[in-house]
Amino acid sequence: MKSAYDVVVVGAGPGGSTAARFAAELGLDVLLLEKRQEIGAPVRCAEGIGTQVLRRFIEPDPKWVAQVINSCRIYAPNGKYIRLEAPGEGLILERKIFDRRLAELAAEKGATVRCKARVTGVLQEGETVTGVTVNAMGQEHRIHAQIVIAADGVESQVARWAGLNTMVKLAEMDVAAQYLVSGIRLEEPDACWFYVGRAYAPGGYAWVFPKRENLANIGLGITPLHTIKTGETALDVLNRFMAKHFPDASIVSMVVGGIPIDGKTRPISKSGLMVVGDAAHQADPMTGGGIANAMIAGQIAAQVAAKALRNGDVSAEALKEYDRRWHKEVGRAFKPLKQIVEEVIEYPDEFFNELADQLHDRPRLNLVDVFKIALRASPRLMWSLGQLVAMGWF
Amino acid sequence: MILIDYDRCDYCGACVGTCPENVIHLVDTKLFIDNDGCTDCKICTYGCPVRALTFVEEPKGGARREKRI
Ligand SMILES: Cc1cc2nc3c(=O)[nH]c(=O)nc-3n(C[C@H](O)[C@H](O)[C@H](O)COP(=O)(O)OP(=O)(O)OC[C@H]3O[C@@H](n4cnc5c(N)ncnc54)[C@H](O)[C@@H]3O)c2cc1C
Ligand code: SF4
Ligand code: SF4
């Protein structure tokens, strides 16, 4: 570890490792810092990702792909489900191995990677971030950087130390609990199951993501407003769900966590700093999926960093290009997505039951068909969906 | 003050992001709360997926955050 780099990236999740990889590939001198003793562990994820978007960054490899997904089931509270075909469209990862591979890629491109190196503060000159302080194996270091990329996940302390407000409001957090379970028999190990409706997960949804025919991530996300109202936590709701639907499952791993999903456009850069991934609240407000978005943002941040350093200008104005590009490529869909979510979580369970009654025996459905039927039942969805259509989503 | 139940905490870091004062710190698998900065707003207790954080009145004879060690 030297005392100065072009770019210091904080956090070796998918966002940070991708930023470090592309920054190094663009010829920058990069340091990637991870506080954990092992990159990728513990896993805080259901490990699902879209095949197509992943391919933009890396070819799927059996070493870290647990399962290819060909369809999904969406269960209504009455137990009926709608089946959507999605051949090859999704993957369930082994994130422990995947995250490590992304960090290795950064190293292969020339970045210096350090684990057990916890960033404890930022260095600033006036309003400009000029580096970080790091505790590595009990030793304090001051490391200077032209640009700091904060990819420190839901904790997001680096941006806050630098004066950007990335605090997660309770109403804007998806609180999740999940078990990796064994000893079950899945009818279709290549199908993801989703459970919608208040009966399953208040303010969120439950999922079964298979990793093998007898191994799956089973979890759910809820709004903490439910906890405030009832005292019931995400883990309590999950335990209820497991007792009812998978009473015989053996738990081999427990995963909990929070995902910031606010659907807002917020400043994600300032002079000398860009914020990437969960730290910048970039997970999809509808699904809570944040792996792909963190990687997209990481790549944009690396490109903006390279340009800024080429021009010798790391001012807030120059780095604003990162905000603009993120918004144009992904962020602008967040507002309508969040509106759809807010609308849909208000629906009574009967709504989903009726939808499932109408659609459960239809073959070869896709998401557009479901939205069409839902629109008939709820015209208020029209505006938000219309925006997504205008953006070329469907 | 906020009591941390280390038997329940799964060191996920969710509470860190919700604390308005940014006084919660996750160091490896151990969570710390900076006594002086905490305003007892209780927000962190609602965002925890496993109920590892609870609010208690300040005990006499000095603060002890751990429920049990
Ligand atoms: C239960 C659950 C299920 C989920 N399921 C899915 C899913 O199926 N699909 C999906 O796409 N997304 C899912 N997500 C969301 C997804 O996990 C995150 O969006 C994604 O990991 C974000 O990547 P990131 O790089 O921004 O941050 P992270 O992956 O959180 O990485 C941040 C890294 O920064 C490190 N760090 C933090 N502070 C410091 C510091 N001070 N110094 C050094 N290092 C630091 C952390 O240790 C961590 O390694 C799920 C989340 C949860 C909680
Ligand atoms: S949210 Fe709960 S489980 Fe997660 S780190 Fe905080 S106290 Fe521990
Ligand atoms: S009570 Fe409020 S200030 Fe204190 S640690 Fe929890 S969230 Fe932070």
Using only C-alpha atoms, chain B has a radius of gyration, in whole angstroms, of: 11
Residue A65 falls inside a structural domain? no
> How far from B21 is each of A161, A393, B32, CA to CA, in Å?
11, 39, 13
Chain B's closest residue to A239, CA to CA, is B50
Interchain contact A167–B (C-beta under 8 A) = yes
Residue A325 falls inside a structural domain? yes
Residue A198 falls inside a structural domain? no
ipTM for the complex shown: 0.92
Per-residue model confidence (pLDDT) at position A276: 98
A233/B50 touch (CB, cutoff 8 Å), yes or no: yes
Q: What gap in Å lies between CA A188 and CA A345, rounded to an integer? A: 28
Interchain contact B14–A (C-beta under 8 A) = yes
Residue A370 Cα to ligand 1 midpoint, Å, equals 31
Same-domain pairing of A321 and A367: no
Distance (Å) from the C-alpha of residue A251 to the closest C-alpha of chain B? 15
Residue B46 is classified by DSSP as H
Q: Tell me the residues of chain A between 238 and 297 that have a Cβ less than 8 Å away from chain B.
A: 254-258, 260
- Which ligand sits nearest to residue A42's alpha carbon? 1
Chain A's closest residue to B52, CA to CA, is A233
Domains identified in chain A, total number: 2
Q: Residue A143 belongs to what domain range? A: 4-45+96-168+264-329
Per-residue model confidence (pLDDT) at position B68: 46
pTM: 0.96
Same-domain pairing of A361 and A296: no
Same-domain pairing of A361 and A305: no
Residue A113 falls inside a structural domain? yes
**End residue of a domain, out of A301, A329, A357:** A329
User: Which residues in chain B land under pLDDT 70?
Assistant: 59-69
Same-domain pairing of A342 and A359: yes
Residue A232 falls inside a structural domain? no
**End residue of a domain, out of A329, A358, A378:** A329
B50/A44 touch (CB, cutoff 8 Å), yes or no: no
Same-domain pairing of A319 and A348: no
Residue A287 falls inside a structural domain? yes
Per-residue model confidence (pLDDT) at position A262: 86
Same-domain pairing of A305 and A360: no
Same-domain pairing of A314 and A349: no
Residue A289 falls inside a structural domain? yes
Same-domain pairing of A274 and A385: no
Same-domain pairing of A118 and A38: yes
Q: pLDDT truncated to tens, each residue of chain A (394 aa)?
A: 999 999 999 999 999 999 999 999 999 999 999 999 999 999 999 999 999 999 999 999 999 999 999 999 999 999 999 988 889 999 999 999 999 999 999 999 999 999 999 999 999 999 999 999 999 999 999 999 999 999 999 999 999 999 999 999 999 999 999 999 999 999 899 999 999 999 999 999 999 999 998 999 999 999 999 999 999 999 999 999 999 999 999 999 999 999 999 889 999 999 999 999 999 999 999 999 999 999 999 999 999 999 999 999 999 999 999 999 999 999 999 999 999 888 888 888 998 999 899 888 888 777 777 777 777 767 667 777 777 777 766 5
Residue A16 falls inside a structural domain? yes
Same-domain pairing of A353 and A293: no
**End residue of a domain, out of A329, A347, A365:** A329
> How far from A372 is each of A343, A359, A381, CA to CA, in Å?
16, 12, 10
Structural domains of chain B, ranges and CATH numbers in brackets: 2-55 (3.30.70.20)
Chain B's closest residue to A253, CA to CA, is B10
